[in-house]
Amino acid sequence: MERSLAAETLLDQALDALDGGDPERALELAVEGARLAGRGDDEELQARLAIAEGQSRLALGDSRTALACITRGARAFPDDLDVQVEEATALHELSRFEEAAAILARVLEADPGDAGAHWLLGLSLERLGRAAAAERHLGRAREIAPDDFPAPVTLSPDAFEAVVEQALAELPEPVRRWLANVAVTVEDLPGPEELLASEPPHSPSILGIFRGSPLGDKASMDPWSHFPSSIALFQRNLERMARDADELVDEIRITLLHEVGHFLGLDEDQLRDLGLD
């Protein structure tokens, strides 16, 4: 009984940490709660902790492990629509768009007013090439919850590239010299093959990507390191991140600096310390 109460407390604390934007702490609490709950016979509590662990891992970008945790926990709550949306979210993050869309369609049959399900279904259908259906669901999400799902700020291709050029021009001169042979391109969305090429897979909502070897690796014996490097910015994802034109310009600049940081050999922790996450 004491272990169950302690595990329940840890679950509540994990959910509070998730709500507070601290998934790392939430993961620690959920894992410790699962350790305690695993010694008892409260299967529902174990399932809730598994889902909390999955939510934490999903927020941290570990979508593959997140899906395993959420799927394990979901067995105890077959009719819980929120859990189904979490499972669909993990599938979407793994570029398993057909499976995500199937779950979300069932959720919306039961609850047509779920704005988050409409949004995620729209994104999944977009990646499946079903543009008209995708826009219907994205539009419905905006109607239901305009503050959560505002209309994207859009720029013409020329205007978007002009912002990128200006951001490049603002880089320090030595960095611009190093970037002389690095192509910087603007693309619509990342392709699924590229998303799945890393482990864990990249999110379909990534804003940009550095392709190639960091600057310091160019002199290595690895022949692949001598292929040209490039940076791609994904216009549609960036436009969906912003609520106005000024915020879009800032997002473009920060994303470019983030990918330039990868080119210079900085890892995610170092970029986070510089405010470029």
Same domain flag for 132 and 224: no
Residue 54 lies in a domain: yes
Would you place residue 211 in the very low, low, confident or very high pLDDT band (cuts 50, 70, 90)? confident
- List the strands of the sheet with 183-187, edge to edge: 183-187, 230-234, 208-211
Residue 183 lies in a domain: yes
pLDDT band at 180 (very low <50, low <70, confident <90, very high): confident
For residue 74, the model assigns a pLDDT of: 95
The predicted pLDDT at position 263 comes to 82
Per-residue model confidence (pLDDT) at position 173: 85
The single-letter DSSP state of residue 201 is P
86 close to 102: Cβ distance less than 8 angstroms:
no
b/e code 80-102 from CB counts within 10 Å (16+ = b): ebebbbbbbbbbbbbbbbebbbe
Q: How far apart are the first and last CA of the chain?
A: 43
Domain count, the chain: 2
pLDDT (tens digit, 9 = 90+) per residue, 66-85? Answer: 999 999 999 999 999 999 99
167 contacts 250 by C-beta, under 8 angstroms: no
CA atoms of 157 and 155, how far apart (whole Å):
6
- 210 occurs within a structural domain: yes
Task: Give the mean pLDDT of 92-119.
Answer: 98
Buried b (16+ CB within 10 A) or exposed e, 188-213: ebbebeebeeeebbbbbbbbbbbbbb
Percent of the chain, pLDDT > 70? Answer: 89
Least confident of 138-147, 166-175, 213-222: 213-222
In a domain, 267, yes or no: yes
Mean pLDDT of the chain: 89
> The whole model's pTM is what?
0.88
CATH of the domain at 217: 3.30.2010.20
Structural domain harbouring 124: 2-144
Percentage of the chain modeled with pLDDT above 90? 69
> Where is the domain boundary, 120, 144, 168?
144
- pLDDT beyond 80 at 218: no
Beta strands in the chain (DSSP E): 183-187, 208-211, 230-234
> Domain end: 85, 114, 144, which one?
144
Classified as helix, coil or strand, 225 is: helix
